[in-house]
């Protein structure tokens, strides 16, 4: 039915030099997402992309709906620049829609033609094209009626330099910026519900994530590590890859248990996590850290706790869920397909050795005093040396 899929992207923030980078990255991300499907390639023409549809458009659309930067998509018919061809395409599209329609009990279906004409050398104006085409469609299909205010069907015609495009559907894309255009950041990825959702939101702003996961064998199992890798695969999306740095955290946990007052253990543990994440970020050219923290959710996420933990790093810590309620986070996790993985019941390193009453207002001096008893640099060095990198997603 349709030869092409027209892909629109948001143009805000994509002026000048940025625009070129934005387009190149979006195109590369789309091509990666479409790998394995019978797709000839992605072509670009005047602030749009087109993908040839040789096979079922639904597979292609389903994958592209996960590619950030795409504003919307329309399956289109592309025809020569004359009214006869435009009408012929419009009739075919309407015919197809009306043939699939269930009985309307004699009620007419309403429609409207909308014409966009960037090509000003086309001999007819937009209103003329719309009017003529509307009249042809009414002649052809007695079951149609025009409604210019609230039509059930909107038939759009775009008249461009070499071709005209005819379509009815606008399928929303995920919006945002193409992954990669904003640079890299390190996502602290636990097996919980929050951190994958936080990663998703930052990817939507163009961040290319690399993940860090802290695990503490034998206190945490192989299955809990696998679960985190599954989360990273889901987050990577079609064609994407997220490297997960699995950090051996056992020795640090043991040292914490030995030296740290139980009330401050959580705070000091987070400080170790952030320091290690920052070291990995710096070695990989990443410019920020990302966590799934949400203000007030637990003791380690009060303002005083965030202050005490964030204090040890120089890089900005992005906490995109800071103002989200848990229910909103769950909703988002369900939408992005990480929820069902996250709720699998495997232990996390944070859930072992954790005191029943952690400090909600940790004092920076107390925290630093507690830490002073520990060989911080050696512990971090050792954990970094025992880090394994797993590439998650399609390579
Ligand atoms: P989540 O659902 O992300 O686990 P949570 O509400 O359980 O969040 P915490 O356990 O307090 O929160 O962790 C806060 C943040 O610290 C997490 O969102 C994550 O970014 C990071 N974090 C916690 N545990 C780990 C871990 N084992 N490895 C990597 N990052 C972690
Ligand atoms: Mg957690």
CA distances from 9 to 73, 196, 199 (A): 9, 25, 22
Question: What distance in Å separates the CA atoms of residue 85 and residue 74, rounded to the nearest whole number?
Answer: 19
Residues of the chain with CATH 3.30.2130.30: 4-172
Question: Does 213 contact ligand 1 (Cβ within 6 A)?
Answer: yes
Which ranges of 50-171 does DSSP label H, i.e. alpha helix? Answer: 57-64, 83-100, 126-140
Site to substitute for ligand 1 among 195, 256, 290, most atoms within 8 A of C-beta: 195
Fold of 184-393: Rossmann fold (3.40.50)
**By CB neighbour count within 10 A (0-12 exposed, 13-18 middle, 19+ buried), where does 211 fall?**
buried
Quote the pLDDT of residue 116: 95
CA of 192 to the centre of ligand 1 (A): 6
How do the pLDDT tens digits run along the chain, 395 residues long? Answer: 888 999 999 866 566 778 888 999 999 999 999 998 888 889 888 789 999 988 778 899 999 999 999 999 999 999 999 999 999 999 999 999 998 876 667 788 999 999 999 999 999 999 999 999 999 999 999 999 999 999 999 999 999 999 999 999 999 999 999 999 999 999 999 999 999 999 999 999 999 999 999 999 998 999 999 999 999 999 999 999 999 999 999 999 999 999 999 999 999 999 999 999 999 999 999 999 999 999 988 878 899 999 999 999 999 999 999 999 999 999 999 999 999 999 998 777 666 667 778 888 999 999 999 999 899 999 999 999 999 999 999 75
Fold of 4-172: VC0802-like (3.30.2130)
Nearest ligand to the C-alpha of residue 224? 1
CA of 383 to the centre of ligand 1 (A): 18
Question: Does 244 contact ligand 1 (Cβ within 6 A)?
Answer: no
Helices 376-385, 265-284: axis angle to 10 degrees equals: 50
Sign of CA dihedral 136, 142, 148, 150: negative
Question: Does 349 contact ligand 1 (Cβ within 6 A)?
Answer: yes
CA of 194 to the centre of ligand 2 (A): 7
Quote the pLDDT of residue 13: 55
Q: Which of 171, 164, 168, 254 is nearest to 216 (CA)?
A: 254
User: Ligand 1 atom closest to Cα of 249?
Assistant: 27
Which residue has a Cα nearest atom 31 of ligand 1? 190
Which residue has a Cα nearest atom 17 of ligand 1? 292
CA of 188 to the centre of ligand 1 (A): 7
Question: Does 297 contact ligand 1 (Cβ within 6 A)?
Answer: yes
CA of 292 to the centre of ligand 1 (A): 6
Site to substitute for ligand 1 among 185, 186, 187, 188, most atoms within 8 A of C-beta: 188
CA of 196 to the centre of ligand 2 (A): 10
Q: What are the tokens at 286?
A: 């990443």
Question: Does 49 contact ligand 1 (Cβ within 6 A)?
Answer: no
CA of 355 to the centre of ligand 1 (A): 16
Question: Does 156 contact ligand 1 (Cβ within 6 A)?
Answer: no
Question: Does 292 contact ligand 1 (Cβ within 6 A)?
Answer: yes
Q: How many CA atoms lie within 13 A of 222 on its CB side?
A: 0
Which residue has a Cα nearest atom 26 of ligand 1? 190
Residues of the chain with CATH 3.40.50.620: 184-393
Contact between 307 and 204 (Cβ < 8 Å): no
Quote the pLDDT of residue 395: 56
User: Ligand 1 atom closest to Cα of 191?
Assistant: 4
Quote the pLDDT of residue 46: 76
What one-character-per-residue DSSP string does 176-219 give?
A: SB-TTTTEEEEEE--SSSHHHHHHHHHHHBTEEEEEEEEE-TTT
């Amino acid at each position: 039915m349709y030869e092409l899929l027209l892909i629109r992207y948001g143009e805000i923030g994509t002026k000048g030099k940025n625009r070129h980078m934005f387009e190149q990255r979006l195109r590369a991300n789309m091509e990666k997402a479409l790998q394995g499907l019978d797709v000839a390639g992605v072509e670009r023409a005047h602030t749009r992309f087109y993908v040839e549809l040789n096979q079922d458009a639904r597979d292609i659309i389903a994958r592209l709906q996960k590619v950030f930067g795409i504003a919307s998509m329309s399956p289109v018919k592309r025809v020569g620049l004359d009214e006869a061809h435009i009408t012929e395409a419009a009739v075919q599209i309407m015919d197809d829609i009306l043939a699939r329609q269930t009985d309307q009990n004699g009620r007419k279906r309403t429609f409207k033609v909308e014409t966009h004409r960037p090509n000003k050398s086309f001999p007819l104006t937009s209103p003329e094209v719309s009017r003529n085409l509307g009249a042809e469609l009414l002649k052809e299909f007695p079951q149609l009626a025009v409604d210019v205010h609230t039509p059930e069907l909107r038939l759009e015609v775009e008249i461009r330099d070499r071709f005209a495009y005819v379509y009815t559907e606008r399928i929303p894309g995920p919006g945002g910026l193409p992954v990669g255009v904003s640079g890299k950041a390190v996502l602290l990825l636990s097996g919980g519900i929050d951190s994958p959702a936080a990663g998703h939101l930052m990817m939507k702003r163009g961040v290319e994530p690399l993940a860090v996961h802290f695990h503490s064998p034998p206190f945490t199992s192989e299955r809990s590590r696998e679960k985190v890798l599954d989360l990273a695969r889901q987050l990577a999306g079609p064609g994407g890859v997220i490297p997960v740095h699995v950090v051996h955290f056992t020795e640090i946990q043991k040292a914490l248990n030995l030296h740290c007052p139980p009330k401050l253990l959580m705070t000091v543990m987070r400080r170790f996590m952030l320091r290690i994440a920052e070291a990995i970020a710096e070695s990989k050219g990443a410019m920020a850290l990302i966590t799934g923290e949400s203000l007030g959710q637990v003791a380690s996420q009060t303002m005083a706790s965030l202050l005490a933990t964030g204090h040890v790093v120089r890089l900005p810590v992005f906490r995109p869920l800071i103002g989200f309620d848990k229910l909103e986070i769950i909703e988002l996790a369900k939408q992005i397909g990480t929820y069902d993985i996250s709720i699998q019941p495997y232990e996390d390193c944070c859930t072992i050795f954790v005191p029943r009453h952690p400090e909600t207002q940790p004092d920076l001096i107390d925290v630093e005093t507690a830490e002073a008893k520990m060989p911080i640099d050696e512990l971090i060095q050792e954990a970094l040396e025992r880090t394994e990198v797993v590439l998650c997603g399609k390579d």
